[in-house]
Amino acid sequence: MEKLTQQEEEAMQLIWRNRGGFIKELLDIMPEEKVPYTTLASTIKNLQRKGYVKAVKYANAYRYEAMVDEEEYKKSFMSGFVSEYFKNSYKELVSFFAKEEKISADELDEIIRMIKDHKNN
């Protein structure tokens, strides 16, 4: 699975959250600073070329739908991220965030509970 640029990831987030859409619809619901129509259209064309979205024709317009599941992308991205930056160790990843004070002891306890609950189900 090819890594996406930040702009492509933002467009995919819109598509995932809204279960697809026409360029104009996606542009209207962008949460941050709006980009030009042509920029979003070009970004979505790149996503189509990479196999992330498909275009479904409705009259004279195309509606874009995700072909890659959001969870599937997250798993692929995180595996590469952890491998590249943390020597393929999730322990190193968590340790990094703890040292940087980006995660608290209470949050770590909650994560441990979640892991134990998941194993028991």
CATH number at residue 21: 1.10.10.10
Q: Indicate whether 31 belongs to any domain.
A: yes
Q: Are 85 and 77 in contact, with CB atoms under 8 Å apart? A: no
pTM beyond 0.85: the answer is: no
**40 burial level (CB within 10 Å; 0-12, 13-18, 19+):** buried
Residues 94 and 48 in one domain: no
Residues 24 and 55 in one domain: yes
Q: Indicate whether 12 belongs to any domain.
A: yes
Q: What is the pLDDT of residues 98-107, one digit of tens each?
A: 888 888 888 8
Ordered strands of the 53-58 beta sheet: 21-22, 61-66, 53-58
Residues 62 and 95 in one domain: no
- What is the number of domains present in the chain? 2
Residues 11 and 43 in one domain: yes
Q: What is the pLDDT of residues 2-34, one digit of tens each?
A: 889 999 999 999 999 999 999 999 999 987 778
**Domain range spanning residue 15?**
6-66
Residues 52 and 22 in one domain: yes
